[in-house]
Chain A
């Protein structure tokens, strides 16, 4: 077998220019896939991180039917104390879950005593919110003199920057929030602006923040109620596994009508970015298909040329008794070697490119977010997959020319000019 590869390697060197050009083309394809996967994967991971770690959380549990009517932020689909406790017990028994936090989502009227506008508010428990969304504070501008380390104190609100600009509101300004509770009665409370939050992608990205106890008071909830429970896992990669397990357990909670009491969703169902993430995955697959086409056409072309140019040589091999299988293996070995060499070079260049991109940090803007820094990465599994695909396609592309070579009649091949 060593001899087969030795001959194959020398035959590749025999047509140096052609081998180099073809290998360069394949290498380019591999580098393209590695770089694109690294960059796109990094962008996707970063954006998912932005969304789940600063606002949405990785999973959310609601009363059944809430998400389908989320645009109206209904207050009649709340989880009461008993229901909340049931879920809390379920979550505390799952070792994959690191933290969870209750939230109330509400629409309110904000008044600066001159003008009034609508505001979407996310009422949170600051201590547990920071555990579920550790980056929530990154988007908020606080007063530089603020002493409190807590995200939000009672009596404070954080308002979206667009609204602050429109209403000419500054940190420290007093405002009034007026809200209807689920019975339709109206209540209003005074608040102080503690911070201004920048928007991110999705409707939830334009919400302001208030303390959950303030929301319960504003909405005149006699007994504590929550709208959603946001969840964070130890390992994001186990999201689907944990989601399936929790879904199954939550389905066992049935209401009086015999229907499921709760619903659970991952961030993908709650954020429009999931569509962009799907597009990114689709584009990565497209890149891989382009690479496969490059490898397939390049190697097929080279091997066909090789078989044609070396017809007499094949005739000699066959005449002196080389078996058709051996002749076939010689040409397949050439294809494999070309694929292998290109894969090794492509992996080295691609990996170096990713390494350099991490040294010379690339910053970019996405929507209203500026100076986002990409940290592209590519794991060994991805490199092995790309190399495996290249090698498989190299063998596949060599098969037809190699088969043709093995089927040549020596007498005809020796006559070839």
Chain B
């Protein structure tokens, strides 16, 4: 059974009288531990696709199953709980909490969402910090870190809850070439280490090459 199953999914946005079809009758299945990228030009529906799979948004039509759960019928509260338990997120602009140190940013989902006890938290955080090679930067605040370092912390935050799925919308868009490659390779290493499914979007050809499976989106359709 695939981890992610998308059946006849369409998403339409309404802006006044104008209807924009961001996704058009998409069908696909993503297996566990896959390293998948969605590529395509701006406005092709990459972010919408990731939002659907990440349970951040609901499709206008169709069915989405993640880990055998039909998530498109979940209400707001249930979707939030599902995301907290099963999905990690990496954002283009890192989206670290500026008032928390690297350590505390990674700790955030363990405290605020999973309520893990202190000892277990500490063990998980130090382990993941070591994995992303940020142990010596753990007490720094985001504004004291470089872009690449911030994204490493963001990856650690996404993985610390040991999710089955990590969504990354253009995770390298704000990074230089070298950092981009390092971040995407770190993501792949993490996928191998934790058997987590990574789904990311990009329009950088060099990054696309790192993916095991690439889906090309054009005008909301898979091509």
Task: Give me the interface of A with B, judged by CB distance under 8 Å.
Answer: 3-4, 7, 10-11, 13-14, 312-313, 315-324, 326, 409-411, 414
Contacts and interface: CB of A to CB of B under 8 A. Distances in A.
B30 to A, nearest CB: 19
A4 B51 CA distance: 27
Interface string B67-108: 000000000110011111101110101010111100000001
Q: Is the interface of A mostly helix, strand, loop or mixed?
A: helix
Interface string B101-140: 0000000110111000000000000000000000000000
A379 to B, nearest CB: 39
B210 interface: no
Given A3-B112, A411-B51, A322 B84 contact: yes
A321 B82 CA distance: 7
Nearest to B85: A321
Interface of B: 51, 54, 56-57, 76-77, 80-85, 87-89, 91, 93, 95, 97-100, 108-109, 111-113, 157-158
A82 B95 CA distance: 90
Interface-centre pick from A10, A321, A322, A323 (highest chain B CB count, 10 A): A321
A411 B113 contact: no
A321 B99 contact: no
4 A-B pairs with the lowest CB-CB distances in the bound complex, closest first: A321-B84, A10-B99, A321-B83, A316-B95
Given A313-B97, A411-B51, A324 B112 contact: no
Contact of B113 (A10, A11, A322, A414): A322
A320 B157 contact: yes
Given A316-B89, A320-B113, 13 more contacts: A4-B112, A10-B99, A13-B99, A14-B98, A315-B95, A318-B80, A319-B54, A322-B112, A322-B113, A323-B80, A409-B57, A411-B56, A414-B91
Nearest to B93: A312
B77 A323 contact: yes
Contacts of A322: 80, 84, 112-113
Contacts of A316: 89, 91, 95, 97
Contacts of A320: 83-84, 88-89, 108-109, 113, 157-158
Contacts of B112: 3-4, 317, 322, 326
14 contacts: A4-B112, A7-B97, A312-B95, A313-B97, A316-B97, A317-B112, A320-B84, A321-B80, A321-B81, A321-B82, A321-B84, A323-B80, A324-B76, A326-B113
Contacts of A411: 51, 56-57
B57 to A, nearest CB: 5
A319 B84 CA distance: 8
B22 to A, nearest CB: 12
Contacts of B76: 324, 409
A13 to B, nearest CB: 8
